[in-house]
């Protein structure tokens, strides 16, 4: 059985697929109408798109058309994945001798490599810089059918592992923290109905916080509501958004994002206003910001939800806040920023790196620290 011979170009394509999928975490992209080429996607890598092209291109005119086609497809992927910039690497294994790829080296955001064997990749510095281990990891001792079986098995194992991780993230979980937050807000509202002193004692207010040092108001204010309509609106939003986000992030990360978002909203509120401010809306805007950040990391699965629901919902509510009286829109904006940064700090499962999480912590501390300095030290 091991005497079965696999075409050299097919073997090279298989080795490239094995490397990019199992070693670099790329996933195949299904593109209709494309033949004799494989598109791979990893939105976290330097080259978000890698093309492995096995179709024969015999002259520069055909190569120019290939570039034109690639650019149009990249625009579609860019919109779909909410990416600002997409760098692509096209690896050709069947270029004709009449094609001179050096003429196209200045093509924006696309790099080209022409190879006949794995070692040819070493000729391209941009390849070895981005993928320093590529030729080493494409060196197999197996041959023929044994090589085919190994590569197929490794890729299947990688795909099964990815499927399990996605199932772990998106599997519905009981939203215990959301239920607790709902109950706490409702209970406090009922208590306020029987005691008129609770609202003025615990509401967010710059003078009480800066001059009387009642810092607890920065958090207690996010659990208070002025009337039933205010409570119902916020609790409905908390129920809808919170159930999803708690399932995605996990209980403790979700709770931390909620509280840090509320703190961000309270801090920006006292920076711009001396009025009393209450309500969970700042924290809820933070949950929307966190959902936006999570959706960006899982945009392959949630791009339509992010574009059609989350972003319009955030914009609509901010516009309502700016055009209506009696709404503390600064708390909304502070909560939104706090939610994005705190979600970055706690991390998105299977996606966030330690470096990214440390950056999130630093950026959140800068955000809160700057406002705190301006309010408490400079007195602005």
The rounded distance, in Å, linking the Cα atoms of 283 and 334 is 9
- Is 281 a residue of the active site? yes
Q: Are strands 37-41 and 49-53 parallel, antiparallel or unpaired?
A: antiparallel
The rounded distance, in Å, linking the Cα atoms of 286 and 283 is 5
Which of 266, 332, 342, 352 is an active site residue? 332
Residue with tokens 């098995």: 153
Q: Are strands 110-114 and 88-92 parallel, antiparallel or unpaired?
A: parallel
How far, in Å, are 39, 260, 280 from residue 294 at the CA level? Answer: 25, 16, 21
Structure tokens at 121: 């990749």
Contact between 12 and 122 under an 8 Å Cβ cutoff? The reply is no
- Is 269 a residue of the active site? no
Nearest alpha carbon to residue 10 among 32, 36, 47, 33: 36
Alpha helices in 81-204 (DSSP H): 125-130, 134-137, 144-170, 176-194, 198-202
Residue with tokens 């029987």: 194
Nearest alpha carbon to residue 333 among 274, 243, 277, 267: 267
The rounded distance, in Å, linking the Cα atoms of 39 and 91 is 10
Which of 261, 269, 281, 352 is an active site residue? 281
Catalytically active residues, by annotation:
281, 332
């Amino acid at each position: 059985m091991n005497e079965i011979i696999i075409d050299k170009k097919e073997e090279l394509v298989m080795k490239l697929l094995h490397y990019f999928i199992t070693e670099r975490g790329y996933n195949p992209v299904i593109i209709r109408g494309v033949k004799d080429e494989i598109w791979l996607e990893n939105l976290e890598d330097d080259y978000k798109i890698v093309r492995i092209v096995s179709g024969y291109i015999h002259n520069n005119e055909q190569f120019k058309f290939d570039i034109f086609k690639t650019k149009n497809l990249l625009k579609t992927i860019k919109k779909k994945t909410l990416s600002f910039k997409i760098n692509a690497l096209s690896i050709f294994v069947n270029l004709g001798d009449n094609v001179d790829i050096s003429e196209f080296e200045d093509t924006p955001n696309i790099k080209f490599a022409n190879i006949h064997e794995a070692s040819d990749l070493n000729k391209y510095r941009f390849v070895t810089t981005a993928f320093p281990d590529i030729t080493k990891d494409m060196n197999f001792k197996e041959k023929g059918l044994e090589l085919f079986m190994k590569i197929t098995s490794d890729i299947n194992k990688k795909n099964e592992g990815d499927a399990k991780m996605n199932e772990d993230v998106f599997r519905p979980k009981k939203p215990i923290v959301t239920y607790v937050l709902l109950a706490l807000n409702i209970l406090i509202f009922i208590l306020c109905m029987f005691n008129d002193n609770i609202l003025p004692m615990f509401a967010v207010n710059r003078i009480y916080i800066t001059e009387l040092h009642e810092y607890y108001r920065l958090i207690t204010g996010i659990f208070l509501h002025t009337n039933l309509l205010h409570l119902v609106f916020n609790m409905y939003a908390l129920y809808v958004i919170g159930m999803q986000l708690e399932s995605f992030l996990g209980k403790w990360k979700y709770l931390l994002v909620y509280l840090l978002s509320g703190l961000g909203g309270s801090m920006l509120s006292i920076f711009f206003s001396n009025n009393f401010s209450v309500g969970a809306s700042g924290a809820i805007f933070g949950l929307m910001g966190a959902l936006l950040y999570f959706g960006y990391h899982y945009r392959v699965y949630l791009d339509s939800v992010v574009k059609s629901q989350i972003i319009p919902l955030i914009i609509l509510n901010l516009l309502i806040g700016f055009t209506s009286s009696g709404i503390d829109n600064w708390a909304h904006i502070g909560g939104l920023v706090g939610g994005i940064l705190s979600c970055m700090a706690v991390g998105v499962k299977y996606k966030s790196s330690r470096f990214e999480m440390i950056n999130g912590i630093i950026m959140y501390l800068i955000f809160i620290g700057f406002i705190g300095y301006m309010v408490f030290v400079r007195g602005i």
